[in-house]
Amino acid sequence: MTDAASTIEDLTRVDAADVVALTAILDTLVRGDAAIGWTDPPVEQEVHELLTSLVVAGPENASVLVARDPALRIVGFGYWRRYARPTLRNNADLERLAVATEFDGHGIGRSLLRRLIGTARAAGCEQLTIDFRGDNHRAEQLYLSEGFTEYGRLPDFVAPDADRRFDKVFQVLDLRR
Ligand SMILES: CC(C)(COP(=O)(O)OP(=O)(O)OC[C@H]1O[C@@H](n2cnc3c(N)ncnc32)[C@H](O)[C@@H]1OP(=O)(O)O)[C@@H](O)C(=O)NCCC(=O)NCCS
């Protein structure tokens, strides 16, 4: 269940304070080795451009949700985007889901995920894919428990640095059922 102290909403405009807060969250996560697609923490401009591209895409093509604390500061976010290739546009990819380290384990990740599944279904997406690093057992358990199934795994595919290799795991949720 979501922590009563947090609320989840669609991001419909990009606000400077949100960009600052989200950049700080991502900075801590990436420096702590969170596997969310960055080796170096993104700067504010990159976060601004990312959020803007998602908001501008519109609810048929992308969905970006944020979790806020009672002071309305962002404490987590997640988004999916439709595949760009015309033959794949019936499907979407859940590209990122992240919760501020200090809010871990309060149910915020699950609430964001459930809402993202709901917005993907409402947009008519047929299948929702996700991929993540093989050592991310927390994310793996979360996705499995919400109905995602594994359809593939590339051994030693992810190379966060010269010495380490991790599997890349692929899961999908069929929204037509
Ligand atoms: C993965 C992440 C989004 C989960 O968010 P969260 O708010 O901490 O998760 P929740 O509190 O909603 O817990 C959801 C489920 O995760 C799993 N989980 C949580 N902590 C776990 C742990 N220490 N070990 C294993 N599974 C765990 C459980 O299945 C849990 O469900 P349960 O509480 O009913 O048992 C968050 O940890 C995060 O931002 N991690 C860094 C970024 C990342 O890896 N994102 C996913 C890849 S894109």
Cα–ligand 1 centroid distance for 110 (angstroms): 7
Which of 6, 142, 143, 168 gets mutated to test ligand 1 (max ligand atoms within 8 A of its CB)? 142
Q: Indicate the DSSP class of residue 123.
A: T
pLDDT band at 21 (very low <50, low <70, confident <90, very high): very high
pLDDT tens for residues 165-176?
Answer: 999 999 999 999
Amino acid residing at 77: F
Domain 7-174 carries which CATH code? 3.40.630.30
Cα–ligand 1 centroid distance for 108 (angstroms): 9
Query: Which atom of ligand 1 is nearest to 112's Cα?
Result: 12
pLDDT tens for residues 24-41?
Answer: 999 999 999 999 999 999
Query: Which atom of ligand 1 is nearest to 141's Cα?
Result: 29
pLDDT tens for residues 84-126?
Answer: 999 999 999 999 999 999 999 999 999 999 999 999 999 999 9
Ligand 1 first shell, C-beta below 6 A: 29, 34-36, 96-99, 104-110, 132, 136-139, 141-142, 145
Cα–ligand 1 centroid distance for 86 (angstroms): 33
Q: Which residue has the tokens 């993540």?
A: 132
Cα–ligand 1 centroid distance for 156 (angstroms): 23
Query: Which atom of ligand 1 is nearest to 133's Cα?
Result: 47
pLDDT tens for residues 129-166?
Answer: 999 999 999 999 999 999 999 999 999 999 999 999 99
